[in-house]
Amino acid sequence: MTANSLSLWTPAKVNLYLEIVGDRPDGFHELSTIFQSIGLMDRVTVAVKSGPAAISVDCAHPLVPNDHTNLAYRAAELMAQAFPEGADRQSTIQIAIAKNIPVAAGLAGGSSNAAAVLVGLNMLWELGLTRQELQDLAAKLGSDTAFCIGGGTALATGRGEVLDSLPCISDLWVVLGKYDNLSISTPWAYKRYREVFEKEYARDQDTQTSRHDQVRSGAMVRLLSKLAKGDRHNLEKIRALLRNDLERVVLPDYDQIQKLRECFLGQTPLGAMMSGSGPTVFGIAANGANAKLIKSAVRQYMPDPELSLWTAPFIAQGVHLASDISV
């Protein structure tokens, strides 16, 4: 009997480091970034059956489209085009998304949902694609989607789709804060960055490669490798090593994010920063109990009911099965 439905957890990510290195011939930015998966996850259910060729998406979140613009829909469309033999057998694809990851928040929620559809259809249609093959497909959908397949800790270059796995860190947590009424468009943040900082861009490939090498052998990667081995002697150094270039354009325009970041910085010795293009701010916590304390302290200083706060551990996985396959 062939499985026809499965559910997957789709973890969010934070960027522990995001350097905008320069320009690319395709018009995107060349990045050096360190992604970290966290245990704040959506649940995506993918079902296939024989019938008319059709894709449907069902997500109750008011900011998430249920049409062909949903990234999960686009992932299904890509798979149906790339693997017509699977699509011929079971060409009705139904996707249900239970959202826990805030939307347009710099946490790669949509990318993670799309990654789940690639992984899910690979299993349901028994295509036998490798992780690398899934990542190559994912890169066609967005810059963060390839990372979301395998997750964990990774250094990403290119648009963010060229991945080098780093050893996984356990026992660190994040506290996340996001104003419900605030969302930031990723294209806007990069466009603004270009307007203001284009003159600093590295354009030739040698300079860009040498920047990547500096990050790869740099202090942040070395510290993360020690933490992954359980050596926490220099844990507090992480505070000074967090970097997100997009803060340079987002913080001056969004006073609320700036203030939230300052509040987080006052509550954790391990540092705080905006994730990706924001507006989510995260603070690092040494363990789960510590994360709860930081969250309560931030809540005390920032009682605004529009501010949502979460705690989540660093996790070593990307998209993964949430339940037994139902047949």
The count of residues interacting with ligand ATP (CB under 6 A) is: 22
Contact in structure between 46 and 120 (CB atoms under 8 Å): yes
Q: Which is nearer to ligand ATP, 125 or 190 (CB)?
A: 190
Range in contact with ligand ATP (rule: CB under 6 A) among 59-67, 123-131, 258-266, 312-320: 59-67
Is residue 295 annotated as part of the catalytic site, yes or no? no
Residue 235 to residues 32, 130, 152, Cα–Cα distance (Å): 22, 35, 19
SS3 at position 206: helix
**Window 106-125: residues binding ligand ATP (CB under 6 A):** 106-111, 113
The owner of tokens 């040498």 is 210
Sequence-distant (≥ 6) Cβ neighbours of residue 189 within 8 angstroms: 246, 249, 250, 277, 278
Pick between residue 286 and residue 309 the one whose CB is nearest to ligand ATP.
Answer: 309
For residue 158, what are the CA distances in angstroms to 28, 248, 316, 322?
9, 21, 22, 31
Does the protein bind ligand ATP through residue 274 (CB under 6 A)?
Answer: no
Query: Which of 49, 50, 53, 65 is close enough to bind ligand ATP by CB under 6 A?
Result: 65
Part of the chain binding ligand ATP (CB under 6 A), chosen from 70-78, 167-175, 192-200, 316-324: 70-78
Q: Which of residues 193-212 bind ligand ATP (CB under 6 A)?
A: none
Return the residue of 103, 228, 251, 322 that touches ligand ATP, per CB under 6 A. Answer: 103
Q: Which of 88, 64, 53, 68 is nearest to 141 (CA)?
A: 68
The encoded tokens of residue 118 equal: 């690639």
Q: Which stretch binds ligand ATP (CB under 6 A): 27-35, 66-74, 120-128, 197-205?
A: 66-74
Say if residues 40 and 101 touch (Cβ distance below 8 Å): yes
Q: Does the protein bind ligand ATP through residue 158 (CB under 6 A)? A: no
Strand partners, 56: 94
Which residue lies nearest ligand ATP, judged by its C-beta? 110
Tokens 């995001």 — which residue?
A: 18
Catalytic residue among 26, 49, 99, 144: 144
Q: Does 177 bind ligand ATP (CB under 6 A)?
A: no
Q: Under the phi-then-psi rule, with left for phi > 0, alpha for psi from -120 to 50, and beta for the rest, what region is 130?
A: beta
| 59 vs 241 by CB, closer to ligand ATP | 59
| Site mask for ligand ATP (CB under 6 A), range 9-48, x = bound | ----------------------------------------
> How far, in Å, CA of 296 to CA of 288, rounded?
13
Selected from 32, 267, 277, 311, the binder of ligand ATP by CB under 6 A is 277
Q: How many CB atoms lie within 10 A of CB 198?
A: 10
Q: Does 186 bind ligand ATP (CB under 6 A)?
A: yes
Please answer whether residues 266 and 160 qualify as being in contact, where contact means their C-beta atoms are separated by less than 8 angstroms.
no
Residues that bind ligand ATP (CB under 6 A): 63-65, 69-72, 97, 103-111, 113, 144, 186, 276-277
Active-site amino acid positions: 13, 144
